[in-house]
Each structure stands twice: as C-alpha cells, then as structure tokens.
Structure 1
Amino acid sequence: MRFATDTGGTFTDLVVEDDDGSITLHKAPTVPSDPVAGVVDALGRAADARGLTLAAMLARGTHFIHGTTHAINAIITGRTARTALIVTRGHRDILLFREGGRAEPFNHTIAYPEPFVPRALTFEADERMLADGTEMQALDEAALIATLDSIKAAGVEAIAVTLLWATLYPAHERRVGELIERHLPGVPYSLSHRVNPTLREFRRASSTAIDASLKPLMTRYLGGLSERLAAAGFAGAVMVLTSAGGMVEASEVAASPISVINSGPSMAPVAGHHYAAREGGWRTAIVADTGGTTYDISLVSDGRIPMTRDLWIGEPYLGHLAGYPSVDVKSVGAGGGSIAWVDPAGLLHVGPDSAGSTPGPACYGRGGTRATVTDASVALGYLDPDYFLGGAMTLDAAGARAVIAGDVGDRIGLDPDAAAWAVLDLATENMVQAIEDSTLTQGIDPAEAVLIGGGGAAGLNSVFIARRLGCRRLLIPETGAAMSAAGAMLSDVMREFSTSIHATTAAFDGARVDAAITSVREQAAAFGVRTGLLAEVELIAEARYFGQAWEIDVPIATPTLAEPADVAAFRRAFDATHEQLFTIRDEASAVELVGLRARVRCKARSGAPFRLAEANADANADAGTLRTRRAYFAGTGWVDTPVLRWDAIPADQEIAGPALIESPFTTVVVDPAARFRRSADGALLIEP
C-alpha cells in the first residue's frame, strides 16, 4: 500500500494505492498553522473508509509520498532562516545587481527589489580562482575564520557560499565548508558548486542562498513529518516530491531543500502526461489544475513535460530567482476560494486574494464573510449544499447568495443570479488569459490541444474555458479532483546531476567533455543503485550558438561525444531543437556546450491500471435514479438539470448537456451547448 498527498492552500489531497493497484481519493481541510495535521486528518479519513484504525492502515504502507508548499510559502512570507552569504572579495553586491530584465521597462516608480540576503549579511572571502583554473589568490584562512566569528556574532542560522569559478574549480569552496564545520559546528551551509553548478553568477548565488535559508526549516518540517507518521504507525519510506517532477527520499531533500520549492504544482503535468497518452494520444495537452487558491497551467507537448530554470518566487524580476530546474508551471491567483470584490470605480475583480481553508468561502459556515467563486457556484445551483465532499460537509446556500448579493450584486447593480454568473464568468476569463499567455507566446494554438481539467474546482467552469479557447475536447480524469496527488503516485524516483563545462564545435575537446559526461553518469548510476530500482539515465546538454546569451536543452542521443560522428549528431540535434523553438537555425555558427546534466529516473510503480476502486465510488443512495437540480446558465436562465453519478454513466455513450456530473470530490458542469461521454477508463470526454 502506498500513500501520496498534496498539501494545497485549501484542501489536502490524499491518494491511496492498494496492493492490487486500485486507488481511492480522500480530502481534508488544510491546516495552515500545522500542515502535517491536515495530512494526518486525510489519512484518518482513508482509514475510516476502510474500517481500519489509522495505525493498522499505516502499518500496511511501504511508501508515503508528500508534496508540499512549505518551502515556497516560507520564502514568500519571510519565515526562512537568517542567512549569511560568503562571496569572493569584490563581488559583495552580486544579489543586488541581479540579472537584466524588467517587468515594466518604462515604469521607474517601481522600487528596486531587495536582495534575498541583505548586504549587511554578505561577507567577502580573500581568494580568487581564474577561468582557466589558475589560483590568482590563495584562500586567506585566517581572514575567513575572523569572518566566521563575525557571522556567529550576527546570529546567523545558515550560510551560503558562492565563489567565482567554483563550478569548475571548487577547491576553495570545499575548504570554506570545512572551516564552517570546524568553527561553526551545527550551522547548516550550502556550497554553490553542489547546489547549482551553472556559469551564471547571479543564479548560482541566488539558488545557493535560498537553499541555505531553507535548511533549518525543512529539516524540522520533514523530521517532524517523519516522526509523526512513525508515531501513528507508519514504518515505510517517506518520499518528497521535487520541482523537477519526481520524488526523492526525505533525507535527501533536507540536504537540498531548494529542489522542492515547486513541489506540489509540478505533479499535475505528470498526471496530465499519463492521461493524455491513455485517453487519446494528443500531441499537445494543456494541463490546468484548479485549486482553492491558484490556477496552475502547464503544457505537455510531444510526450515531454517542459522544464525551466526561470523559476521566480514572486513576480518575475521583482521576486527571487530560484534558478533551479523545475517543471514549467504558471500560476495565477484564481481558484475556488478566490475572492470577488468591486473597486472604487465600480469594476468587478476576482482574486488574487483567496479565502483559503480558514475561514474559507462564506458557504463553508466557518466565519468567512467575502464572496468567492465557490459561493457563486453554490448560488448558481452547480454545487449540492448537502453533498459537498461526498456529504462530509454541508454548505450554507443562503449565506452564499447573501454575500454574492451584498459584495457584488448591490455594488454593480445586478440581481443575485446575474452577479453570481459575473463572478464565475470573470474567473473564467482570467483563466483563459493565463492559458493564452502560456500557449500563444510559444506558437501553440489552444484549439489544436486537449484541455485537461484537474483540481477539485475544475469542473465548475472548464467547459466554459475550453469553449473560449476553441478546444475541441476537454478531458477530466476520474482522479482529476486530486490531480497533483495522482501525479505524485504516478511519478518516478528522479534526480538530476549537473556540471559546468565549456566546449565548442569549432574546436571540440572530446576527452574533456567525455570526462564530464562520465562524472555525471557515475553520480546518476550511484543514485540508481541507492534506490534499488531499475534506473534509466538521460543525458542533456545545455548549449547555444556562439555569442548567444541563453542556452537551450538538447538531449544527447549517443553514449559519448568523443568521436566526430557523435559531435555531428549532437550538432544536428541542436539545430533541429533551435529551429523548433525559434523557427530558425544558424548552421554557419559554431555551437557552444556550456553545461551537462544527467537525469536519472527509477520506476517506482508497477504497470497496474491506475483506476479508482469501487470503494471510492459515489455512495449517494439516490444515485441509481435520475435526479434534477435547477441550475443557472447565461443566455438560458434557470434550467432543470439532470444530476448524474460519475461512475454510473455508461461507457462510450454520448450524452447531450445540460448535466451536473457528481463524484464525492468534484462536480462537473456541462451546459446545454456541450456533449460528453465517459471513456472505458473512467474519464469524462467533453465536446464544448
């Protein structure tokens, strides 16, 4: 038995996989002050559903897979450790200068962003390595020891070390680490050549500083999670999801916490990739995960999940750049808990602020007083107040209509029905704009893609989103209500090992490049051995045309780059990838290799069908009979709408809208203009 959880801003999702490969879904409210409490609550609900005690169920478990926003939330809220940064003398302002780029180039009223580590906690080391490996200045250890005394006096809780050219020649950084251990025992530290061996100085310094600042927090959090699970009866392996779309053991995350900044959102594309291949084999899938707080968008194209190193925490150019490999996910403040509000000019807005799980939307009856998307959906008749979360929670329909009327309708002159529709319609438009920003800028026509809707709130307006995008097909998987947790269960044990290296096709040093390839391959192979699983290693080159500022990722298909034929094959692959991305190729220019990565994947799950168990079927006593509920649709008004139980819909039978399709954890709204069917694998396939 395996468990996979995703802690969101409103709900904690849990997927349980039994030994026969069948799965069940469970949800519990997230506890912001103690996220582990929400996890334990979800596990308790799963145990109750099986007629077991929590200890008895956990005793059967072999793996607990955890996705968390604890790290990124700590950065956003400023709860990271007090961190010092040690740099080469003369480069104290590396985090202040940053990289070029402005969100609004001509708006000079925007304040210059503060560095992640303040200048007062940035210290200089007397040392200097040159690009060719020459030691221009030896490390002054006596001066460094005095600096460490100053760091101790400043009450620092973690230390980041970023020295020039340490990616290629790390001897000085290693010695600084040894001196930290000797003179500041117990203080966690991060060395840049281990965290992010990239040639870009700001990114390397930024990622190292972020990594160090998270070590005390994440060590406590993951240690507490493991201890509480053990106390509850779990004796298996605790795994944590990484930003790169895989998972590793919790002990490895504590040593490199920057790897889990985008932990939860990175899993929805993994699930989307699985369902796109299983349900239709679409070339391009738009994966949209609607939670209570955010709307997360990613693309799966040609069977590949896109990665990025431009992961910003906060607004691009104004926030902090992680500079660490991550699944490319764009998030906007639009979800079921997004708050609707009217500005002084009388314009309606939805989000980005969210009611979260505490107090939550007004319809939760927990003290929420602001109108949200969920309240609008209740007011429109889309959600059954007596069957929210499978009946585990009763919604206050009158309270929902009251806040919609008071917060929205009375302020913009609309009746409650029109006001509720306006809230949902504007939320839909925000989501459409976010998808178009992610697709059209990459030359992707949304009309040629399948939209995959995930998250508990996805069914409320995914049909409307797909129609506005021009998508001919909308896919909502049977596990869509817990998309990220499902992706966690489908994910592999995975890690990347990287190194910086410079070579050019004009004068290729095959021996030196092959030595670098051997190094990252050996690290990847050793990781695979530690997991005890069958490992596959993919080698990726970071390359660019000579003189370009930015590099692209190109898979290396040959075992080595030692022979001229191997280099020629790499060159052809680079030209083809560059042309696919930017529509041009420059065969007259040399290609520069600036970095190598070995990505190792270890299959953690058997090939058993990923299907919901009968135990997770809708338990509504009236599900076998046709019911109706009045629902409001723009242009039609209130309509007596059939209410269908998801798992009772016959497979491959086309049905015309309108319909409200319910499962214990989500409701899918199909308006009169749409048609749908349920596939043999349990997914809803909707033609908007």
Structure 2
Amino acid sequence: MTDRASSIVAPWRIGVDVGGTFTDMVLRDAAGQVRIFKAPSITVDPSEGVLNVLRLAAAELDLPLSSLLRNCGLFVHGSTVATNTILEKKGARVGMLTTHGFRDSLEIRRGIRENQWDHRAPLPPVLVPRYLRQPVRGRIAADGTELTPVVVEDVASAAALFKEEGVESVAVCLFNSFLDGKHEREAREALAKNWCGDWISLSSEIMPTLGEYERGSTAVVNAYVAPKVTRYLTALDERLRELGLPRSLLMLQSNGGAVSVAEVASRPVMLVLSGPAAAVGALSGCAVSEDLANFISMEIGGTSCDVMVMAKGQVPVSDQLVIDGHHLTIPSVEIHTVGAGGGTIASVDSAGLLIVGPKGAGAQPGPAAYGLGGEEPTVTDAQLVLGRMREGKLAGGAVTLDLDLARRAVETKLARPLGLSVEDAAAGVIRLLEQNLLHAVERLSIERGHNPADFTLVAAGGAGPMHGASVARALGCKRALLPRAAGAFCAMGALESDVRQDYMQVFVADLDKVDRSALEVGFAQLESRARDALVRQGFVENGMIQREIDIRYVGQQSSVRVALKENRFDEKVARETFEAEHQRLFGHIQPGGRLDITALRVVGRGSLEWSPPPVRPPQQKSPAPRQKRAVWIDSMYGWQDIPVYDGEDLRQGCKLQGPLLIEERTTTAFVGRKDVVEVNAADDFLVHIGGIA
C-alpha cells in the first residue's frame, strides 16, 4: 500500500453527486482529510458514472475497490435520475384512479398561466391521458367522515383496462383523502387483487396536502418516476453492497436532507432536486463565523446554474415546486435553476444577435475544446480563448482542453457571423452569461425581499469561481466566497447533510381560538412517525424534532411556514413571526388581521456528525505565482499579463491583490482588478470586492 493510501484514516465517508457533465466524488476520512475525484457522467446509465469514479478513486489511492467500499462508514448519493426521467419523458406508463366527477382535475390544473402575457403557449401535456384516468364512486366528506363507501367494482373495471393498456404504475388520488386515506387504501387493496403491477402511489401517503390538483399531480409524478428511479437505486445499492459497502447508501432529497433507500423507495418523487439540494449541507460547512451566516450560492456546473439563499443559517423550504410544468407539493428547498454553465452553447440567431444558452453540450461531446467531436462554442471555449483557463488537463485529468479547437469554434460560429475578432466574440459570451447569472441570483434574492449587500455570494461548481467576483460586484455584494472544493460542492454538501424526514397534516383553525389539546394530539401523531423513521435509519439518541405551522390571513390562498420556538405554541409569538416573514415576502401586513392555521408540520433530523478537517499551517511567506499569463480582464483594461497561483500554495492568512488567477484541482478562480482575495479560516478563498474596507 502506498503512502498516499496509508495516509487515509478509516473509516471514511463518501459523497457522490451525478451532474450533467461530471460525476463528482468526495472522500472524507476519520481525521477530516478530504480527497476529491471526478469522472465524466454516463448519461445512458448514471450508475456506471458512479462506479467509474469509485474505480478512479481506488486506483489513485492504490486500494482495491472492495477495500475502498468496505472501509466506508457512510455513502451519500445525490442524483438527477428522477428529474431527468421527467424532463426526458422516459417514465412509466401511468394509470390513475380519481373520485367520480374529478376525472379532469389533472388536466384543468388551476387555470393559471405561469406567464400571464403569453396566452397562446400550450400547457405541457399531462402524464396520464384521459382514458387512463378512471373514476371511482365513493366519497369522503369535508370533515373526514365517509359519505359513501368505495365501489370496488369500479376499481376492478379500471384494473382490467390498465392490464389491457399495459399500465406499469398507478396513481390514486381520491377526494378529501388528505383528511382520511381509508378509501385510497381500499382502492389499493382492490387493485392488488385485480391488477398485476407492482407500483401503486397513494396521494394520502405521499403528501396529504389540501388541494386536489396538486396532490393528484404529485401522486402521478411519483407513479411516473417510481419504476425507473427505484430500480436504479435498488440496483446501485445492491451492486455497492456486493462490492463491499457494509451498509445501504443514503440519498439526498429535495428538502436538503438525506434518507435511506428503503425509506424513499415508495416516494421517489422526493428526489427530484436530489443533486442541487446538497448545497444546503455545503453552505452550512461554509459558515465559519456568525457574520458569514448569510449566503447566496451560485453553483455553476457544466450544464446549469443552481441558485440558493441561506439567510441567518436557514434555507427556505417550500411545498410549491414545478418541474417541466408539473406541480408538486413536496418539501423542497427553494432553488432557481437556469441553463448557464461551462458547457452552455453560444450561437448567433437569425436576427444576427449573440445568444448564450439554454442548451448545453453535456459530457458528450462536451465543449469544442474537449476534442470529443463537439463543434459548437461554449462558455468553456470562450474562457480558454480569453486566457482565463489554460490548455491541458482539466478536473484532475478527467478531460483535456485544446486551445486551437476552442478558437476555431468561436471564430467560425460566432466571430465571423458577428463581424468581430475571436477575442471580442469570446468576451461577449462571458458578458452575456454573467448577465444571465445576475438575473438568476436576483430572482431568489431581491425578489424575495433580501438585500444582496447583506450577503456573501458563494460561487461554487467547477465554473462558479470564474464568475463569482464579477457577479458579486454587479449584485452589490461586498464579498464573494470561492470554495477550494468548488468543483465538487454538492458532493461535499452530501457529506454535511443531516438525515431529514418531513411530515404534515392539514389542520384548519383560528390562530387565536385553536383547541390546544387537538393541536398537541396532531403534533404528537406526526412526531411519532418522524421518530419511528429516524429509528429505522439508526438514529436513536441524536434525533431532533422541529414543530412548524402554516399560517395565512383569512381568505388568503397561500400560507407562510412558521417554526415554533423551542417547539412551544404561543399565538402571540407565532403572529409576530408570521408578520415579519409576510412583510419580507410581500411588503405588507394586515395589523390585527385574523389568522388561520392551515397545517401542522414536523421535521425529524438525524445528525451525521463529522470530524473537522485538520488545520493546515498558516502562510509563512508570500507565495510565488506559478506563471504569468496574458488574460483578457474586461472591456476597459483588455489584455494584461497577470499572475497565476497554484491553490495548494495559498494558506490561511494569505492576502493577494487582483487581478489574478488561482488554479485548483477541480476549478479555476478569477479575481478582478482592485479585489483582494484571502484564505479564510475554512481554507477557502474569500474575495473582498473592491478591496478590504
């Protein structure tokens, strides 16, 4: 065993994030040491990308793959399989059972257009055609009592049709089932007797929320993705166990928490934001002091940019999520995604205007500079042309960049049609991309009532540190944080994410007149479910419970989520918290207005404790740059010879004046003129925009 392998202290933890271009892996050992590995993603079979990056890590560490996995105490995985199944329209053939008279709720939707000015754009097709949405007689009343029983003959008739039409998965959404799921359970029993399929999704078990359309849409999407996602997770889990992994892997959920495969197998819809939601854990790891608890993260990978806001250490969680036009009511962190990444394609449209995105080159063929057959210019090609990236190995040797190929693509596809030089065309690509990034960040900051000047912009992802300082300057942020492990940000976040389970129950009552005993009974039932789930996943002592309530003004359609301080209900404190949040979100309140509670929530957390990384010796002397390179700075200063530093040479306490480049294993950071970069206590690069005040 080599010194490199023997330096790793068992047991270690592994986090793997499958992106559109690269599959990232982070290994953190018992001493807190971190190793990062990257391999190209395999689009047709993401599990092969996971196994490939594990094989790469084992080879670099001079360990057998079995030893690498056998000594792994925790394996956490973030995957976009559920999301891609929806986007690529590759899910199961779905049938649906609805209450008689509500067959068309799924297609009617809410009757609201996302863009009120575009009244001609067709709505996305529903995942279940009308003839496969079968009505069932029976009714639950508004108070949860049974008006008429389920007619099992209707279920049997629907099952016969499902057999004939080759239905693979069935969603069941019956009226008022959020109050009592009895009828849905009876329908499942009847289906099991008359239909040979294995996949049945009950809306009352997935998310028993008020709202027939949203609950039904969520059940349908769950049924749509369940066969493919569950088979993927089960097969990968079994393969890893066969190779030596001692315990089942954990999956990242949309709520930013991890969960075991067994717990999420029946609700794979909870994984639609599995990959990007890992940024919650990564941001928590960035907070080295109280003054850095406010973050806006901009995670830029090869194909997209995911934006998230952490205010006072908390990331907002919402039940309103839209994926490719399908509305879901699942707990998910607020993330705004745009098609802007290193592999985003730039082109000239029919009007002769430069456009950047939203299409990307992906892992295959990738940017033109990869030399894998891509001919379209991308952001990576533009960066290479401008000298901000260098030729040669990228991402630890996963790919190789060729400047000649990049220049040729930019010249033929952009510069000539626009009548510009190659450099000016490349600079235009960067300016346009950063404008798109600015708008994406404003969507979750300014439009949510946050002042960016109060936040530190975290520029992560392999491409993030190239744009972080520039976007922070445009936003008005005073600081930009460029993580040293930016290229594996979500894989790192997977290891720093707690296990989390969310449970909710509709509970309608006047805030000031609520029956406290009924409130306590409701919370107790939810807490019991949360604790049982945590115990099943091995958390007996270090499980934590947080109570929350949904509140709204009487007559208002949407509610605001309010956490109960110390899990104690106090109507005065709840009102104050609600009004503060309502003011921030909407800019107004109704003083003394009547408030209704609409739902009870319980969040169960299991803390995955980890060792802090070993402290590296502080900077002893001024670091010498690796080289000086001609780099295009901006339209005012043009080309300049600037220093290029090896990130490994920069230690805590080091401060450098821009412009400069920092080259790390998985990313390159660009620091602009007048900016000052320092290595902070977490060993990351903190950029003071315009210098240290």
Q: Normalising by the residue count of structure 2, what TM-score does the alignment of the two structures yield? A: 0.93
Could you tell me how far apart the structure 2 residues matched to 1:305 and 1:610 are?
A: 24
Q: What is residue 562 of structure 2 aligned with on the other side?
A: 554
> How far 1:254 sits from its partner (Å)?
1.5
> Residue 553 of structure 2: which of 525, 531, 545 is its match?
545
> Residue 214 of structure 2: which of 199, 203, 225 is its match?
203
Could you tell me how far apart the structure 1 residues matched to 2:678 and 2:537 are?
A: 41
Q: What is residue 597 of structure 2 aligned with on the other side?
A: 593
* Letter aligned with residue 285 of structure 1: F
Q: Please tell me whether residue 93 in structure 1 is matched to residue 101 in structure 2.
A: no
Q: Please tell me whether residue 284 in structure 1 is matched to residue 284 in structure 2.
A: no
Q: What is residue 668 of structure 1 aligned with on the other side?
A: 669
> Residue 294 of structure 1: which of 298, 304, 307 is its match?
304
Q: Please tell me whether residue 374 in structure 1 is matched to residue 375 in structure 2.
A: no
> Match of 2:592, SS?
coil
8 A contact 1:15–1:24 mirrored in 2:
yes
Name whichever of 477-486 and 84-93 sits farther off: 477-486
Q: What is residue 246 of structure 2 aligned with on the other side?
A: 235
Q: What is residue 216 of structure 1 aligned with on the other side?
A: 227
* Letter aligned with residue 503 of structure 2: F
Q: What is residue 151 of structure 1 aligned with on the other side?
A: 162
Superposition pairs of residues 376-391 of structure 1, within 5 angstroms: 376-391=382-397
8 A contact 1:502–1:592 mirrored in 2:
yes
> How far 1:48 sits from its partner (Å)?
1.9
> Residue 609 of structure 1: which of 609, 612, 615 is its match?
612
Could you tell me how far apart the structure 1 residues matched to 2:659 and 2:576 are?
A: 52
Q: What is residue 523 of structure 1 aligned with on the other side?
A: 529
8 A contact 1:71–1:260 mirrored in 2:
yes
Name whichever of 110-119 and 623-632 sits farther off: 623-632
> How far 1:447 sits from its partner (Å)?
2.4
8 A contact 2:256–2:277 mirrored in 1:
yes
CA deviation vs aligned residue, 1:139-198 (integer Å, no higher than 9, x gap): 111232122212221211011111111111221111111112222244210111111111
CA deviation vs aligned residue, 1:374-420 (integer Å, no higher than 9, x gap): 00111111112124223453211100011011111111111111111
CA 1:510–1:100 in structure 2 vs 1: closer, same or farther (change >3 Å)?
A: farther
Superposition pairs of residues 14-29 of structure 1, within 5 angstroms: 14-29=25-40
Name whichever of 235-244 and 110-119 sits farther off: 110-119
8 A contact 1:287–1:451 mirrored in 2:
yes
Q: What is residue 36 of structure 1 aligned with on the other side?
A: 47
8 A contact 1:390–1:663 mirrored in 2:
no
> How far 1:510 sits from its partner (Å)?
2.5
8 A contact 2:321–2:330 mirrored in 1:
yes
8 A contact 1:168–1:501 mirrored in 2:
no
Q: Please tell me whether residue 189 in structure 1 is matched to residue 200 in structure 2.
A: yes
Q: What is residue 313 of structure 2 aligned with on the other side?
A: 303
* Letter aligned with residue 534 of structure 2: G
> How far 1:438 sits from its partner (Å)?
2.1
* Letter aligned with residue 628 of structure 2: T
> Residue 570 of structure 1: which of 550, 570, 574 is its match?
574
Q: What is residue 493 of structure 1 aligned with on the other side?
A: 499
CA 1:685–1:499 in structure 2 vs 1: closer, same or farther (change >3 Å)?
A: same
CA 1:271–1:428 in structure 2 vs 1: closer, same or farther (change >3 Å)?
A: same
Q: What is residue 684 of structure 2 aligned with on the other side?
A: 683
CA deviation vs aligned residue, 1:108-132 (integer Å, no higher than 9, x gap): 3212332232212100001111102
> Match of 1:461, SS?
helix
> How far 1:104 sits from its partner (Å)?
2.7
Q: Please tell me whether residue 654 in structure 1 is matched to residue 655 in structure 2.
A: yes
> Match of 1:139, SS?
coil
CA 1:590–1:44 in structure 2 vs 1: closer, same or farther (change >3 Å)?
A: same
Could you tell me how far apart the structure 2 residues matched to 1:365 and 1:611 are?
A: 39
* Letter aligned with residue 411 of structure 1: P
Q: What is residue 463 of structure 2 aligned with on the other side?
A: 457
* Letter aligned with residue 544 of structure 1: R
Q: Normalising by the residue count of structure 1, what TM-score does the alignment of the two structures yield? A: 0.94
> Match of 1:286, SS?
strand
CA 1:552–1:43 in structure 2 vs 1: closer, same or farther (change >3 Å)?
A: same
Q: What is residue 339 of structure 2 aligned with on the other side?
A: 333
Q: What is residue 629 of structure 2 aligned with on the other side?
A: 629
Superposition pairs of residues 345-494 of structure 1, within 5 angstroms: 345-494=351-500
Could you tell me how far apart the structure 2 residues matched to 1:576 and 1:266 are?
A: 26
Superposition pairs of residues 95-134 of structure 1, within 5 angstroms: 95-134=106-145
Q: What is residue 617 of structure 1 aligned with on the other side?
A: none
* Letter aligned with residue 629 of structure 2: R
Could you tell me how far apart the structure 2 residues matched to 1:283 and 1:113 are?
A: 39
Superposition pairs of residues 155-166 of structure 1, within 5 angstroms: 155-166=166-177
Identical residues among aligned pairs (%)? 34
Q: What is residue 5 of structure 2 aligned with on the other side?
A: none
CA 1:577–1:389 in structure 2 vs 1: closer, same or farther (change >3 Å)?
A: closer
Could you tell me how far apart the structure 1 residues matched to 2:81 and 2:200 are?
A: 20
Q: What is residue 11 of structure 1 aligned with on the other side?
A: 22
8 A contact 2:155–2:191 mirrored in 1:
no
CA deviation vs aligned residue, 1:20-74 (integer Å, no higher than 9, x gap): 1221111111010111111111112211221112122111112211100001101
Gap runs ≥5 in structure 2: 1-11, 618-622
Q: What is residue 579 of structure 1 aligned with on the other side?
A: 583
Could you tell me how far apart the structure 1 residues matched to 2:323 and 2:28 are?
A: 33
Could you tell me how far apart the structure 2 residues matched to 1:423 and 1:164 are?
A: 51
Q: Please tell me whether residue 71 in structure 1 is matched to residue 105 in structure 2.
A: no
Could you tell me how far apart the structure 1 residues matched to 2:462 and 2:633 are?
A: 21
> Match of 2:682, SS?
coil
> How far 1:485 sits from its partner (Å)?
0.8
CA 1:594–1:49 in structure 2 vs 1: closer, same or farther (change >3 Å)?
A: same
Q: What is residue 60 of structure 1 aligned with on the other side?
A: 71
> Match of 1:293, SS?
coil
RMSD value, Cα: 1.9
> How far 1:136 sits from its partner (Å)?
2.1
> Match of 1:669, SS?
strand
8 A contact 1:391–1:664 mirrored in 2:
no
Could you tell me how far apart the structure 2 residues matched to 1:90 and 1:636 are?
A: 68
Q: What is residue 511 of structure 2 aligned with on the other side?
A: 505
> Match of 2:162, SS?
helix
CA deviation vs aligned residue, 1:253-286 (integer Å, no higher than 9, x gap): 22110110100011113312331x2156335311
CA deviation vs aligned residue, 1:639-678 (integer Å, no higher than 9, x gap): 2221111121242232111211011111111233322111
Could you tell me how far apart the structure 1 residues matched to 2:472 and 2:314 are?
A: 22
CA 1:392–1:264 in structure 2 vs 1: closer, same or farther (change >3 Å)?
A: closer
Could you tell me how far apart the structure 2 residues matched to 1:281 and 1:506 are?
A: 36
Q: What is residue 535 of structure 1 aligned with on the other side?
A: 543
Could you tell me how far apart the structure 1 residues matched to 2:581 and 2:439 are?
A: 28
Could you tell me how far apart the structure 2 residues matched to 1:91 and 1:383 are?
A: 57
* Letter aligned with residue 631 of structure 1: V
> How far 1:590 sits from its partner (Å)?
2.5
Q: Please tell me whether residue 248 in structure 1 is matched to residue 259 in structure 2.
A: yes
* Letter aligned with residue 352 of structure 1: P
Could you tell me how far apart the structure 2 residues matched to 1:573 and 1:84 are?
A: 43
CA 1:612–1:630 in structure 2 vs 1: closer, same or farther (change >3 Å)?
A: farther
Could you tell me how far apart the structure 2 residues matched to 1:121 and 1:636 are?
A: 63
8 A contact 2:625–2:646 mirrored in 1:
no
Could you tell me how far apart the structure 2 residues matched to 1:472 and 1:507 are?
A: 46
8 A contact 1:241–1:260 mirrored in 2:
yes
Give the number of aligned pairs: 670
* Letter aligned with residue 298 of structure 2: A
> Match of 2:276, SS?
coil
Gap runs ≥5 in structure 1: 615-622
> How far 1:624 sits from its partner (Å)?
6.8
